[in-house]
């Protein structure tokens, strides 16, 4: 059983930066594909980006060039560096741990989320 705890959210002005962290425990962190998701009020949860086991990262078009995902397997921690923040980035941000099963990526573990609010 993997436990995930996000931190680093807060209130920031448009154009500012925040760094989110996701601390993992209870499993072998390096084995998992890690993802960042977000959910804004009244909207569906969306994928922000993915950190694959081989250090490859993918991003949603809406954050590409502004957000960077990294992971420290020695510290069992996933990061999301968010720069040039926009009001539309306001959401609760979640990290998740998953595995590739067959040809599908399945996220089995989720954190509780951290609020990011970007003021205009």
pLDDT in tens, 45-85: 999 999 997 779 999 999 999 999 999 999 999 999 999 99
Rg, C-alpha atoms of the chain = 14
The first and second tokens of residue 21, run together, are 């962290």
Which pLDDT score is estimated for 27? 86
pLDDT at residue 99 tops 80:
yes
What's the pLDDT band for 26 if we cut at 50, 70, 90?
Answer: very high
Pairwise CA distance, residues 49 & 92, whole Å: 14
Residues 15-39, mean pLDDT to the nearest whole number: 96
Strands 57-59 and 46-51: antiparallel
Which pLDDT score is estimated for 55? 79
State the residue for tokens 């980035």: 89
């Amino acid at each position: 059983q993997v436990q995930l705890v996000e931190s680093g959210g807060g209130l920031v002005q448009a154009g500012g930066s925040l760094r989110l962290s996701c601390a993992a425990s209870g499993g072998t962190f390096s084995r998992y594909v890690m993802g960042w998701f977000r959910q804004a009020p009244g909207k569906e949860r969306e994928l922000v980006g993915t950190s694959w086991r081989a250090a490859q990262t993918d991003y949603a078009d809406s954050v590409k060039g502004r957000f960077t995902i990294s992971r420290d397997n020695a510290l069992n921690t996933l990061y999301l560096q968010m720069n040039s923040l926009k009001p539309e980035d306001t959401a609760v941000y979640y990290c998740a741990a998953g595995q590739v099963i067959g040809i599908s990526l399945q996220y089995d573990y989720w954190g509780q989320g951290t609020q990011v609010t970007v003021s205009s």
